[in-house]
Amino acid sequence: TNHGSQGFRKVAHPSPMPDPERIELIRNPGFGRAFSDHMVTITWTADRGWHEMTIGPRGPLSLSPAAAVLHYAQEIFEGLKAYRTSSGEITLFRPDMNARRFALSAERLAMPALPDNLFIESVEALTSIDRAWIPDGEGSLYLRPFMIATEPFLGVRPAAEYLYVVIASAVGPYFSGGKSTITVWVSEDYTRAAKGGTGAAKCGGNYAASLTAQAVASAEGCDQVLFLDSAEHRWIEELGGMNIFLVFEDGSLQTPPIGGTILPGITRDSLIRLAREEGRVVREEPYAFDQLKADVASGRLREAFACGTAAVISPIGKLKTTDGPIVIGDGNAGEVSLALKRKLVGIQRGDVPDSFGWLHKI
């Protein structure tokens, strides 16, 4: 088993995108469409463990139509960003946390654990070779490590062969146009995860299962869907692809606790630490949707925001339900949300001191 000390086998790229074309493409990249020149692949087999660490041209994968991932969805992924700081350095934000979560997702999906150091080396290697793909200004390079079960076998059991891949995409804001607030549909029909299920793992199946609810949200003119818990349909959990925070009149914050049904967001964890460092009270406690309605009516709830690697901090202006809209605060981005966003982005961009040691220089 090769654990990275020997580095990656490099396959030369015959035709990387010419500079003018790339520069034009990443000027206004949107989200998740502008893919960089290279990719990393590492293979796992039961007899050899992780081997064939390769970095080369990004291109189609060749898979057996019987590959287990295509039938039983044994797939996990991560998302993290590489930034160019104001002084021109290139950094990753807390990649050790993504490595840990990837290993936990692998465990939940009965997949082999990729050693944390190999995960980190793989994202470092891709960031480094495709550094020209990091947009200037507010953009970043979104790294997407993922693992699929490649063994051709239709029996239902953990596969004996896997492929780990990292691709990268130049990105701007997740919500088109970088809108200042988002609107969120509260799903009455669908839930995202149940106790004992895969809600805490970052597996493709969770997102496939959220798409119908997301389609309803879109049809209702909303940007995202908010899921309530599956047991009582009472407690706020998270959005389809981001965690949620609420901000109260007394300056305190609340966010649903980690308990197996929501994704333990790295942005969530970072914001809890930053807010506490500022002296704010942050409660990681269940919050009922009925309570939200009461707190909006009484004026106690002032702000709400979604957070995640892709979403950064996206203030929520309005929730919509079948009973009609619920406007949060005055419907605009709240002060606390924006101040936390400035601080987080400032750290990521090297403009605010990194007192927690979160930046990982490349």
Applying CB under 6 A, does 241 fall inside the site for ligand COI?
yes
Going from the C-alpha of 358 to that of each of 176, 240, 355, the distances in angstroms are 28, 26, 8
Nearest C-alpha neighbor of 243 from the set 274, 272, 209: 272
The partner in contact with residue 319, picked from ligand COI, ligand PLP, none with C-beta cut-offs of 5 to 8 angstroms by kind, is none
- Of 148 and 312, CB closest to ligand PLP: 312
- Per partner kind, with CB cut-offs from 5 to 8 A, the member of ligand COI, ligand PLP, none near residue 67 is none
DSSP 2-41: --STT-PEE---SSPPPHHHHHHHTTS--SS-EE-SEEEE
The CB-side HSE value for 63 (13 A sphere, CA atoms) comes to 19
Cβ proximity to ligand COI: between 93 and 162 the closer is: 93
Q: Does 95 bind ligand PLP (CB under 6 A)?
A: no
The residue behind tokens 């150091």 is 117
* E strand segments, the chain: 9-10, 34-35, 38-45, 49-57, 75-77, 80-84, 90-93, 140-149, 161-171, 182-186, 224-228, 236-239, 243-248, 253-255, 282-284, 301-308, 312-321, 324-327, 359-361
Residue 79 found at the interface with ligand COI (CB under 6 A): yes
User: Is position 139 an interface residue for ligand PLP (rule: CB under 6 A)?
Assistant: no
In 3D, which of 289, 111, 132 has the Cα closest to residue 203?
Answer: 111
Minimum CB separation of residue 141 from ligand COI in Å reads 13
Q: How many CA atoms lie within 13 A of 261 on its CB side?
A: 19
Residue closer to ligand COI by CB (options 181, 314) is: 314
Least gap, CB of 265 to ligand PLP (angstroms): 3
Interaction residues for ligand COI, span 306-335 (CB under 6 A): 308-310
Cβ proximity to ligand PLP, 150 vs 254, nearer residue: 254
Whether 313 and 340 have beta carbons less than 8 Å apart is answered as: yes
- In whole angstroms, the minimum distance from the beta carbon of 230 to ligand PLP comes to 15
199 counts as binding ligand COI under rule CB under 6 A: no
Site track for ligand PLP across 259-298, x = CB under 6 A: ----x-xxxx------------------------------
Q: Is 296 in the site for ligand COI (CB under 6 A)?
A: no
Count of chain residues binding ligand COI (CB under 6 A): 5
Q: Which of 241, 256, 317, 329 binds ligand PLP (CB under 6 A)?
A: 241
Neighbours of 359 (CB within 10 A): 18
Q: Which does 266 bind (CB under 5 to 8 A by kind): ligand PLP, ligand COI, none?
A: ligand PLP
* Burial classification of residue 96, based on how many CB atoms lie within 10 Å of its CB (0-12 exposed, 13-18 middle, 19 or more buried): middle
Residues forming the site for ligand PLP (CB under 6 A)? 79, 238, 241-243, 263, 265-268, 308-309
Residues forming the site for ligand COI (CB under 6 A)? 79, 241, 308-310
